[in-house]
Amino acid sequence: MLVYKAKNLILTGYTDSDFQIDKDSRKSTSGSVFPLNGGAVVWRSIKQGCISDSIMEAEYVATCEATKDAVWLRKFLHDLEVIPNMNSSITLYCDSSGAVANSKEPRDHKRGKHIERKYRLI
């Protein structure tokens, strides 16, 4: 049985992406991890479904995928009643200031239409 201490159980997430490292498909790879009390409880590394035109778009897609994981994890932990403060927001860290700015104030660009249809979650 896995048991966590009751204090400082704050769920945070970290996300990152590479940019078109796959030379054949030109698709980027998204990665995310959600540690809890020093151990990773959810992690993911997956090839993105679209071809990003910029590093910001690749990071934005990775952050959106991590947001979906955070929503699922929050509901899962809430249903388990493991974390008493699960009603608080989950902080998701992204290392791209452009992706963070785009999530705060999304703008419509011709180049980003394929991104905005599927990934306007955050």
Q: Where are the domains of the chain?
A: 12-119
Integer Cα distance of 120 and 122 in angstroms: 6
Residue 14: its pLDDT value, please?
93
Pairing of strands 12-17, 91-94: parallel
Tens of pLDDT, residues 38-53: 788 888 888 887 777 7
Quick check: 56 and 98 in contact, CB under 8 A?
yes
Computed over every residue of the chain, the mean pLDDT equals: 76
Topology of the domain covering 12-119? Nucleotidyltransferase; domain 5 (3.30.420)
Decide which of 103 and 27 is more confident.
27
